[in-house]
Amino acid sequence: MTGPVGEGWLDGDAARPVRPYAVIRGRTSPSVHLDLMSMVVATGAGPGGYLEPDHEQALGLCRQPATVAEVAAWLRLPVAAAKVLLSDLAECGALRAAPPLTADQAVRRPLLERVLDGLQRL
């Protein structure tokens, strides 16, 4: 299974032409709160008009659900910058975000059993 990088969308060796924080015009506070492990996916809806290239690229990476951390890695942006882009997209309805597991949810027995079963079947 490969992600967008594996599909040849991004050249892993290409240098980024634009400084990461220029992408988001110096904003560092995302409006929708996102965590490294928030799961994001494109809704297929949204403004329908012109999207800035970086927002377009970020949205393109979310056709299948992915974590904020993955999107940041694929975009080769610092996490904070990726969060701003994704938060913008969530605000305009182009992206849906699900929060990560809380510390309590992360260790619940039914989940652990599913994880164990999944690992044993690998």
70 binds other proteins (CB under 8 A): yes
The closest alpha carbon to 106, from 35, 30, 42, belongs to 35
22 binds other proteins (CB under 8 A): no
d(CA 111, CA 120): 14
d(CA 86, CA 38): 11
Among 16, 31, 63, 91, binds other proteins (CB under 8 A): 63
- How many residues bind other proteins (CB under 8 A)? The answer is 46
42 binds other proteins (CB under 8 A): yes
Q: Classify residue 13 as left (phi > 0), alpha (psi -120 to 50) or beta.
A: alpha
Q: Which is nearer to other proteins, 6 or 17 (CB)?
A: 6
- Answer for the pair 53, 22: CB distance below 8 angstroms, yes or no: no
- Answer for the pair 74, 39: CB distance below 8 angstroms, yes or no: no
Q: Supply the minimum distance, in Å, between the C-beta of residue 56 and other proteins.
A: 10
Query: Per-residue contact track with other proteins, 75 to 104, x per CB under 8 A?
Result: ---xxx---------------x-x-xxxx-
Measured from the Cβ of residue 21, the count of other Cβ atoms closer than 10 Å reads: 15
Binding site for other proteins (CB under 8 A): 1-3, 6, 35-37, 39, 41-45, 63-65, 67, 69-70, 72-74, 78-80, 96, 98, 100-103, 105-107, 109, 111-116, 118-122
